[in-house]
Structure formats: structure tokens, C-alpha cells
Amino acid sequence: DTGVSQNPRHKITKRGQNVTFRCDPISEHNRLYWYRQTLGQGPEFLTYFQNEAQLEKSRLLSDRFSAERPKGSFSTLEIQRTEQGDSAMYLCASSLQGWDTEAFFGQGTRLTVV
Amino acid sequence: KQEVTQIPAALSVPEGENLVLNCSFTDSAIYNLQWFRQDPGKGLTSLLLIQSSQREQTSGRLNASLDKSSGRSTLYIAASQPGDSATYLCAVLYNFNKFYFGSGTKLNVKP
């Protein structure tokens, strides 16, 4: 396993369209996180899964955002009716269960809404 | 509210210099702290993880320290190289669910 994989790497979409991103975590990791990062800022938490259960969602995650992790493996993040303010880097991370474990991030998906 | 601050926001040094990046956090009840490197347009690469019970961790030319009581961590880079140029982010884990990130320090090492 070569690490956390995210697809696509880049996505350009027109305002109002729906987009979906995919994250494949490191295979034995049961925790999966989604973060959003805008230029010059640190990543901000969006949501977190333990296995297939979505345990926490940020208030940043409006009703237009939905995330799933069927069967506790890969995860998808969907944004409906995209807005220009959604333009950002979307990062996925995974880790093993436990407070002393290291988190590993993917290369991110860069979304541009025009 | 948990806040993480990184100073300086940007740093430019000549090659070979030793340098220190700072990270401060408002709530000392952390589980662990992790330092990451981010190259432009790329994801985050984990550098060092310090558990709450530890004082420091070392990896090659990197040394990270943690002082929970004062809410501070430092990342020391020895003998800096142009390839070290990147943004360095610290992230604090307060519970199992999420990391709180600083805004990063953008490092430029000049040949």
C-alpha cells in the first residue's frame, strides 16, 4: 500500500454543478478524515469517520456537502450546487485507532469553481 | 476554543543555517502533536509525531520538542538545504476526531 490516494487531483467545474471526490485510505486504517484548505491557511476539519460511521461533522459542512464511507473502506465527498466559495484544496487523511497514532494525508483534490 | 498559532508566517535563510519554527496552542490538554511539510499545490507529508507524554522526537536533521505546560512546540531544522523549502504545519490532536492546524510557516532556504 503506497499511502492515501485521492482522485481526481484537479477538478474545474461550473457554478451550480455537482462534484464528487474519492479517497482511498491506507488499507488497515479505520479512521478517515476530510479537511478543506484555502490558500495561505491551514487545513480546516470537515468530517470524520471511524470505520463506516460518520462520527462528527463540522459546521463548515453545509447541507450541500455529504460524505460517505460504505463498508469502512474508501470514502466519497460530494458537493452539490457548487459555489465559488467552495474553491479549495480538499484533503483526506487516515489513521489507525488510538490517540498515539500518526495521521497520513493524501495529495488532495484541488477544486476550482468558475 | 482551541487555537494553534505558528510564528513566523514566513522565513528566509541561507543554506546551511540552523533554524527553529514555533507552534503555540491555547489548550494544553492535547493527545499528540504532529508536524507536517507541504510543498506548493501538494498534500501534507508527516514529519514527526510527538505524543503528549513525550518531550521530543528526532528524525534525521529534524528535532521537534513539546512543552505542554506552556502550550508550545518547536521544530528545529539543522543544516538547512534548499530542498527543505516548503510550508511547515503543526497540528494538535485534542480528541480522537480532529486535528487543529496552524496556518503554517513558509520556509525558503536560499542556495
Q: Are A63 and A55 in contact (CB under 8 A)?
A: no
Report CA dihedral (A94, B61, A40, A113) to the nearest 10 degrees: -40
**Distance (Å) from the C-alpha of residue A106 to the closest C-alpha of chain B?**
6
Nearest CB to A102: which of B31, B46, B97? B46
- What residues of A are in contact with residue B43 (Cβ under 8 Å)? 4, 6, 91, 105-108
d(CA B17, CA A111): 37
Handedness of CA A59, A64, A65, A67 (dihedral sign): positive
pLDDT tens sequence across B45-92:
999 999 989 999 999 999 999 999 999 999 999 999 999 999 999 999
In order along its 114 residues, chain A shows pLDDT tens digits of: 579 999 999 999 999 999 999 999 999 899 999 999 999 899 999 999 999 999 989 987 889 999 999 988 999 999 999 999 999 999 999 998 876 788 999 999 999 999
- Are the Cβ atoms of B43 and A110 closer than 8 angstroms? no
Within chain A, how many helices (H) and strands (E) appear? 0, 11
* B39 interface with A at CB cutoff 8 Å: no
**Distance (Å) from the C-alpha of residue B14 to the closest C-alpha of chain A?**
23
Q: What is the pLDDT of residue B28?
A: 83
Three-class SS state of B110 = strand
